[in-house]
Amino acid sequence: MPTYKNELTQILHEHRAVMLYFSSPSCNVCHALKPKLVTAVKAAFPEMQLHTVDVTHDGETAAAYNVFSIPTVLIFLEGKEYVRKSRYMSVDEIIQALTRPYALLTS
């Protein structure tokens, strides 16, 4: 089965701000959180590239990023991991953690 790992490596090199959302079809929390998170991130950080990884079908990519629980959000700024949140997280805490560094990045 093809993995997303190589494509994500390229995406991280091409874009200054990238969010990776790791989830699975059987994760109810993942399904509840994702639309709220995507809406808030797109509104607050318009240059952020959003990508979802289904760990059920792409465990290799999840392992490559040391993701062992879901949902997990990884946010990269200029190719470096800046935020890592797993399981219990709020949309507000992610927005708050990114506001200042994103503003510096895009100013």
Residue-level length of the chain: 107
Number of domains in the chain: 1
The range of the structural domain enclosing residue 40 comes to 5-106
With H, G, I as helix, E, B as strand and everything else as coil, classify residue 61: helix
Question: Which CATH number covers residue 64?
Answer: 3.40.30.10
Tens digit of pLDDT for each residue in 71-97?
A: 999 999 999 999 999 988 999 999 999
Angle between helices 91-106 and 28-44 (to 10 degrees): 30
Task: Write down the pLDDT at residue 1.
Answer: 40
Task: Write down the pLDDT at residue 76.
Answer: 97
Q: What is the mean pLDDT of each run of 10 residues along the chain (107 residues)?
A: 75 94 95 95 96 93 94 96 93 94 90
Task: Write down the pLDDT at residue 3.
Answer: 63
